[in-house]
């Protein structure tokens, strides 16, 4: 019997995932792929926003990986638009992780374009797990209320772009935009906050321009 | 469906890491795992404990005690530089009313050590 001892570890629980994510990110970059991790609460409009964005991303090959706990309605819809899409069913897990993305990416045989990864509808854990993305896009909505930055600070802190969706519904709601923006800016000084509506289709030109610029920067 | 699955994969990973280091050090059993969990990391300590018992069964960690050190998130005031714990729905510094910005304190999620 050996004696008792303490072994120092200091290893992050995310470490393995983060390393896999760096590998995937590198392979995306090498293949000319700009990867966007799309996060947001269930029903925030992640798929709806992607549809609006992809329609406007003319002359750019768009790919989509759809993360979903179950079902594949979203993927079918995208495919019917001619987008190369693949579905990942996590069977209950609440976020996508790097090994899942690695597999799905192979299926799509990605080359030169933009890959959108629609994460599981959830505001908590997707923010923690890198999945090889170049940028994180957070979809928040006016229907969720203006206190979301205060309740889910990490998602807002980590986002590179924040889309405020469903703005067509503003006349019917009490949404304190100043309070919302104050929270966002305390957490995140740089991410643009862009107001959009998938119903009226307003605001998407700015989103698309941001993506194009970021994609260009990545290529250089 | 979402909530119960949440801590499962990370708890599994915690046990994997502990086993990996135990084996590397020629230990046949892990007696304690010292885990550090920030309150902002999105993982609930009590749920990790719950899964731990189930997943650890039959592993080197089966009889291990899971010791979780929780860390309260702190903001740093951009005006006076003080670290502080924020009040609900506010990021305001209690000392000078300046604006607090996020720090890494509270986002920890790592295994500090194991006892074998
Ligand atoms: N009024 C209004 N409804 C919207 C808008 N965007 C999305 N919706 C509606 O919101 C619902 C959810 O939209 P989705 O795009 O499926 O949302 P999602 O985030 O992909 O949902 P999950 O993948 O299930 O988490 C649908 O009924 C959409 O029609 C918007 O800008 N305005
Ligand atoms: Mg969707
Ligand atoms: Zn201060």
Judged by its nearest atom, the ligand closest to the C-alpha of residue A40 is: 1
What is the total count of domains within chain B? 1
> Can you list the domains of chain A with their CATH numbers?
16-219 (3.40.50.300)
Residue B34 covered by a domain: yes
Whether residue B2 is contained in a domain is answered as: no
Residue B60 lies in a domain: yes
Residue B99: domain span: 8-115
In a domain, B3, yes or no: no
Q: Are A98 and A131 in contact (CB under 8 A)?
A: yes
A184 lines ligand 1 (CB under 6 A): no
pLDDT digits (tens, 9 = 90+) for B78-109: 999 999 999 999 999 999 999 999 999 999 99
Q: What is the pTM of this model?
A: 0.91
Helices A46-56 and A204-219 cross at an angle (nearest 10°) of 70
- Residue A186 in contact with partner chain B when CB distance is under 8 A: yes
Report yes or no: A66 and A76 within 8 Å, Cβ to Cβ. Answer: no
On whether residue B33 sits in a domain, the answer given is: yes
Tell me if B7 sits within 8 A of B103, measured CB to CB. no
Give the model confidence (pLDDT) of B4-26 as tens digits.
467 888 899 999 999 999 999 99
pLDDT of residue B5: 63
- Rounded-to-integer distance, Cα B75 and Cα A213, Å: 32
Q: Which of A9, A71, A182 to mutate to probe the B interface, most B CBs <10 Å?
A: A9
> What pLDDT was estimated at residue A102?
87
Closest residue on chain B to A188 (Cα): B101
Q: Is residue B100 part of a domain?
A: yes
Per-residue pLDDT of chain A (220 residues; tens, 9 = 90+): 457 899 999 999 989 889 999 999 999 999 999 999 999 999 999 999 999 999 999 899 999 998 876 667 677 888 888 888 888 877 667 778 888 898 888 888 899 999 999 998 888 777 888 899 999 999 999 999 999 999 999 999 999 999 999 999 999 999 999 999 999 999 999 999 999 999 999 999 999 999 999 999 987 7
A84-89: strand order across its sheet: A84-89, A62-68, A113-118, A33-40, A135-141, A161-165, A193-195
């Amino acid at each position: 019997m050996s004696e008792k001892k303490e072994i120092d570890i200091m290893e992050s629980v995310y470490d393995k995932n983060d390393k896999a994510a760096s590998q995937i990110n590198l392979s995306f970059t090498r293949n000319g792929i700009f990867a966007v991790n799309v996060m947001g609460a269930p029903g925030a409009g992640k798929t709806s926003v992607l549809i609006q964005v992809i329609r406007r991303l003319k002359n750019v090959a768009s790919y989509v990986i759809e993360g979903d706990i179950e079902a594949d309605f979203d993927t079918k819809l995208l495919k019917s638009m001619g987008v190369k899409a693949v579905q990942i069913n996590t069977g209950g897990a609440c976020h996508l992780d790097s090994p899942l993305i690695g597999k799905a990416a192979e299926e799509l045989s990605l080359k030169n374009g933009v890959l959108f990864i629609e994460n599981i509808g959830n505001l908590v854990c997707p923010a923690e797990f890198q999945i090889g993305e170049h940028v994180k896009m957070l979809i928040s909505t006016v229907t969720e209320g203006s206190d979301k930055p205060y309740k889910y600070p990490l998602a807002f802190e980590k986002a590179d772009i924040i889309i405020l969706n469903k703005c067509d519904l503003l006349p019917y709601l009490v949404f304190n935009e100043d309070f919302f923006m104050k929270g966002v800016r305390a957490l995140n000084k740089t991410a643009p906050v862009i107001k959009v509506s998938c119903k009226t289709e307003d605001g998407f030109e700015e989103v698309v321009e941001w993506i194009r610029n970021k994609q260009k920067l990545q290529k250089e | 469906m979402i909530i119960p699955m949440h801590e499962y994969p990370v708890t599994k990973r915690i046990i994997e890491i502990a086993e990996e280091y135990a084996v590397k050090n020629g230990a046949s059993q892990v007696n304690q795992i010292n885990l550090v969990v920030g309150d902002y990391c999105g993982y609930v300590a009590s749920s990790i404990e719950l899964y731990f018992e189930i997943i650890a069964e039959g592993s080197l960690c089966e009889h291990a005690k899971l010791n979780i050190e929780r860390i309260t998130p702190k903001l740093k005031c951009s005006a006076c530089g003080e670290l502080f714990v924020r009040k609900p729905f506010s990021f305001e510094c209690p000392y000078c009313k300046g604006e607090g910005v996020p720090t890494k304190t509270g986002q920890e999620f790592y295994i500090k050590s194991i006892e074998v």
